[in-house]
Amino acid sequence: MTAQALLKNLEGYVGADAAPYVYALGVAVLAYLVLGLASWVVRKRLARLAESRETYAFGMAAGAAAATRQSLLFLLALYLGAAVLEVPPKAREWLQALLILILVIQMCFWAGGALRFFSEKYTGDNLTDQAARVTTMRALLFVVRVVMYSIALVIVLDNIPGVEVTTLIAGLGIGGIAVALALQNLLSDVFASLSISLDKPFVLGDFIMVGDMLGIVENIGLKTTRVRSLSGEQLIFANNDLLNSRIRNYKRMTERRVPFVIGITYDTPRDRVEAIPGAVREIIENAENARFDRAHFKAYGAYSLDFEIVYYVLTPDYATYMDVQQHINLEIHRYFEQQGIEFAYPTQTLFLHRHEAGGGNPSGSDG
């Protein structure tokens, strides 16, 4: 049965005036059912392919299909229903603008779903070994999204009847200056985020110290960077404030310099004092993952003879550093114990002068 014959039959049931609208409604309902079924089949099929193949292409396609919005399918079905009606040319123009709006928005959703899958999979595959690439890729994806939505906005505006895109863009340029001044703090954080992503003073997974706060970088966002501290809480820094701070990136250390001081008592024999630097050097050189730098009798302290020792741990790992330092401390303690050398600790010696009975000047002088 043709559309004309179906319309004639409807006129016999609902009247000549209502028949076109009933026909248009039927077209819209049928279109919505067909579009919804097709969308469901495509999503399921692509999801199975993405799970079995585990490639970027199928995964991005599945992510795009999953981003299909039922509300946009509903609007598209309404457009198809309205398209069969006889409407004035002006209304037809607005229907064309509605169709373009629906398609552009849905394409943005599809592209966003594909980019989201790409970002998550790329992060999962490269975060451990190539954290710097992950940070850069996130910045590039942000730029791609901004460009994509800007183009989509221009396309939509260009197809709205009566809207002059050139004049509108010029007006937005002037108004954009005022908006930029009002949002300068927000924009400074956004540009700081791009600077962090491109210059990479730190990347995801780095252990950094900002002021007296330190932790592992968990996320670099558009406005803030989130750091997980050693005690478990999350530290949140504004990107612009973070770039204006002095940042210590411990993950990029190739080795760790370790200075420390030990003190011995003043009554230690001179020959044993002279032997301590050589003994400490031998202890450090025999330790694993350690490189000796120097050991010196540094100073006469308030209550001790002070020795300064410096060595390097050949890995930035903190646990390894603590193991090496513990081994060195125990070996120094063992050596001092064998040589009868005592570690110094804060002491005071009080000298008492006893006066002779009968009084008098304690100094024995007149006056």
| Confidence class for position 181, pLDDT limits 50, 70, 90 | low
> How do the domains of the chain map onto residue ranges?
3-126, 162-251, 256-339
**Mean pLDDT (the chain, rounded):** 80
CB atoms under 10 Å from CB of 284, counted, come to 23
Going by their DSSP bridges, the two strands 290-300 and 224-229 should be labelled as unpaired
Residue 262 forms beta bridges with which residues?
A: 307
User: Taking the model in full, what pTM does it have?
Assistant: 0.49
Q: Which CATH number fits domain 162-251: 3.30.465.10, 2.30.30.60, 3.30.200.190, 3.30.1550.10?
A: 2.30.30.60
Contacts 24+ apart (CB under 8 A), 159-166: 159/96, 159/97, 159/100, 159/101, 160/97, 161/90, 161/93, 161/94, 161/97
Both structure tokens of 213:
């706060």
CATH fold label, 256-339? Alpha-Beta Plaits (3.30.70)
| H-helix or E-strand spanning residue 245 | none
The pLDDT score that the predictor gives to residue 177 is: 58
Return the closest-CA partner of residue 107 out of 118, 115, 119, 95. 115
11-49 pLDDT tens trace = 454 444 556 666 677 778 888 888 888 888 888 888 887
171-to-38, 149, 167, 181, 240 alpha-carbon distances in Å: 42, 19, 6, 16, 29
**What does the pLDDT average to over 66-72?**
83
- pLDDT at position 268 over 90: yes
